[in-house]
Structure 1
């Protein structure tokens, strides 16, 4: 008998689909959350069925279970862990583990690694449809789809969240069996178009619920959300690029996800502090008591960030004549290009105006220090008119 313990996201499901194609009803598949894996491993090991073959994909075990798996394998038990998360690389010291972050010069997914493994073992025959499916999962999980403009990958992920996981498994198996291409039917396309609009509305609403916090020297954007974490984290990070990373809290599930679009920070290292791990730009962890205090309790005392006005014609970011921001006290903050100093800031309370070589750095300073936002054209024009009059009067 075969047993697969895998993640309950699209990449984990991809492994389940491949296992079902390879072994049919001869494999038992369990979809797990990150925190749910280790109890399942312990339960399997207690049964002592060494004739069973255990696979673990897209998840990593804790130190205790790693030692137990060593003992199990030494006694003749058959186990194989396949993962692609950077935070699991240390497991490669065990003979039963294979953790690989990249393959063929591209970021790997658990599905792509498991597919290659099953082919090498002669357990699955590749087809055009399965090849396409595996690549869509890989691009979605590594966020490569956005860079490639591969909307099919995003659609696959959107469809995944619309169905119970077992029902979606049946839908995919039907698509992949006896077909050389992978595609969505007309009804699915219509459903996906509606879902895309729904997700867009959801994300736009959440962009107004972002709280800024300085935690361990990094500027975090804290938001509470139960779904669409990948799209949400990416969109919010782009909306507020002055933040080092986005922390998405799920209090009911006692989980927290971390996302970033920046190269200077590794959120898998942040996740480790809260019994988690993952990728450099996307990780997850347990909402521990300390995490709850830092990300939930402390931010509850503050107000969410305000979004920049998006449709200005006059108050435009990066123009050398200057652009106007405002804080919650209604005080103006002006960023302009000084011919000698570079980008400079005018604001009440600044003893000495700092200067920056790039506009983006000046704006980052303003948003971090003042939690300010770009004002609308009317306020900007009024400010510039007063500034002109002061200059003409010699004040």
Structure 2
């Protein structure tokens, strides 16, 4: 018997003769179950390496370890999408035949068409979920919490980029009684968060069962919270990291103005009163605001009216 695993939370099994837990390969790349099993079969003469197989396994490895996002490897994401669009039997039969017949791995024209349609469906799903995410602080981290049954990796990735002030995204699947964790940040290891709740996974993607404790933290305690508001899009004047200043608003209709004081210091005005705290960058000032006030970037009309009122008051 041989255990082949790549999760950091399983490293303790290496103390046994049958344990073979490898988190990173010899090149320092995060390992996946597919890449480890592929090398196992090749090293024991059960399978011959080919370029097509190497490419196929690498696409799976990048998706499973989230390297596809860092490398902008859309082929890896599309292969995973195709796996769920067709039956297991059809996927297996098609891939086996293709890997035997071609020198390189590629999608056929029909697969490209259905994958393009699926991408549109994913974008619409994510657009809807953006309006449902709530923000909460759990222990030392700020989390975005959203209910979703589909496209967890894509959703977690896009929400993480939309709300970078959040340390991670918690995705609740009530039907499956599962809780998934995703992060785009290097300073957070969501496998540790999942491990505290009896689960596990990778640094960027992990999960656990929706236990009573997890339910209390992520469902009960957040149920009454209002969803986050998205930053205004397509602004021409109220822009982030602007030397003139940037305007934000919260649900209490408090106004927050971030402006540079010097090249290395940024300040925040709340309703025209400057806060005592200063920040080394615009990013840090915005993170503080979004975490403490759950505010959003106002649109240009609001920004212009705010400035007009400022001018009137100074006359």
TM norm structure 1: 0.76
1:71-220 aligned within 5 A: 79-103=1-25, 104-220=27-143
TM norm structure 2: 0.95
The Cα RMSD (Å) is 1.7
User: Are the aligned partners of 1:341 and 1:355 in contact in 2 as well (CA < 8 Å)?
Assistant: no
Output one character per residue of 1:337-357: Cα deviation in whole Å (capped at 9) or x when no partner. Answer: 123982111114978432101
Aligned to 1:241: 164
Residues in 2 aligned to 1:384 and 1:294: alpha-carbon distance in whole angstroms: 41
From 263, 267, 270, the counterpart of 1:344: 267
Residues in 2 aligned to 1:174 and 1:203: alpha-carbon distance in whole angstroms: 34
Output one character per residue of 1:121-175: Cα deviation in whole Å (capped at 9) or x when no partner. Answer: 1111122221211111111112222333322211101101212333322222222
User: Are the aligned partners of 1:212 and 1:305 in contact in 2 as well (CA < 8 Å)?
Assistant: yes
Q: Report the alpha carbon displacement of residue 329 of structure 1 after superposing the two structures with TM.
A: 1.7
From 128, 146, 152, the counterpart of 1:223: 146
Q: 5+ residue gaps in structure 2?
A: none
From 260, 266, 270, the counterpart of 2:183: 260
Residues in 2 aligned to 1:320 and 1:340: alpha-carbon distance in whole angstroms: 10
SS of 2:243 mapped into structure 1? coil
From 280, 294, 304, the counterpart of 2:227: 304
Q: How many residues are paired up?
A: 314
Output one character per residue of 1:213-241: Cα deviation in whole Å (capped at 9) or x when no partner. Answer: 11112110001111111111111011001
SS of 1:105 mapped into structure 2? coil
Residues in 2 aligned to 1:349 and 1:378: alpha-carbon distance in whole angstroms: 19
User: Are the aligned partners of 2:135 and 2:143 in contact in 1 as well (CA < 8 Å)?
Assistant: yes
Q: Report the alpha carbon displacement of residue 210 of structure 1 after superposing the two structures with TM.
A: 0.7
Q: Report the alpha carbon displacement of residue 263 of structure 1 after superposing the two structures with TM.
A: 1.7
Aligned to 2:281: 358
Q: Report the alpha carbon displacement of residue 109 of structure 1 after superposing the two structures with TM.
A: 1.2
Q: Report the alpha carbon displacement of residue 389 of structure 1 after superposing the two structures with TM.
A: 2.9
Residues in 1 aligned to 2:137 and 2:232: alpha-carbon distance in whole angstroms: 25
SS of 1:312 mapped into structure 2? coil
Any runs of at least 4 consecutive aligned residues in structure 1 with deviations exceeding 6 A, and if so which?
A: none
Is the radius of gyration larger for structure 1 or structure 2?
1
Residues in 2 aligned to 1:340 and 1:172: alpha-carbon distance in whole angstroms: 56
Residues in 2 aligned to 1:287 and 1:241: alpha-carbon distance in whole angstroms: 25
Residues in 2 aligned to 1:198 and 1:322: alpha-carbon distance in whole angstroms: 37
Structure 1 residues 349 and 274, CA gap change in structure 2 (3 angstroms): farther
Q: 5+ residue gaps in structure 1?
A: 1-78
Q: Report the alpha carbon displacement of residue 176 of structure 1 after superposing the two structures with TM.
A: 1.9
User: Are the aligned partners of 2:66 and 2:204 in contact in 1 as well (CA < 8 Å)?
Assistant: no
Residues in 2 aligned to 1:199 and 1:318: alpha-carbon distance in whole angstroms: 30
Output one character per residue of 1:287-325: Cα deviation in whole Å (capped at 9) or x when no partner. Answer: 111111111112111111010011100000110211111
SS of 1:112 mapped into structure 2? helix
Larger mean Cα displacement after TM superposition, 381-390 or 210-219: 381-390
1:271-290 aligned within 5 A: 271-290=194-213
Residues in 1 aligned to 2:87 and 2:277: alpha-carbon distance in whole angstroms: 54
User: Are the aligned partners of 1:109 and 1:141 in contact in 2 as well (CA < 8 Å)?
Assistant: yes
